[in-house]
Amino acid sequence: MTREEVNELAEGAIILEGFDDCIVGVTESFGEGIRILYSRDKILSSLQKDMNEEDSIEYYYFNIVGGYFGEQNPIFLV
């Protein structure tokens, strides 16, 4: 899925910089805005290009999953 497709389908959704290749799709549910779905495994693989496995896991959970980026915060496929 390209960034252009994501922008078209999920206007206003939070896009994580540097992780376009980790996008699995777009989600929607009652009472919530459309959100971008990321693959946890793809994010971890991407992070491990620059850091070891333990550091990438810690970074993922603290800075990505633990971050609040806005009302249309991304969600993650485990």
DSSP secondary structure code for residue 10 in this structure: S
Q: Which residue, chain included where needed, has tokens 């919530």?
A: 32
DSSP per residue, 32-73: EEEEEEEEHHHHHHHHTTTS-HHHHHHHIIIIIIT----TT-
Q: pLDDT tens for residues 30-64?
A: 888 899 999 999 999 999 999 999 999 999 999 99
pLDDT at 31: 84
Q: Which domain holds residue 30?
A: 3-77
pLDDT at 69: 87
How many domains are contained in the chain? Answer: 1
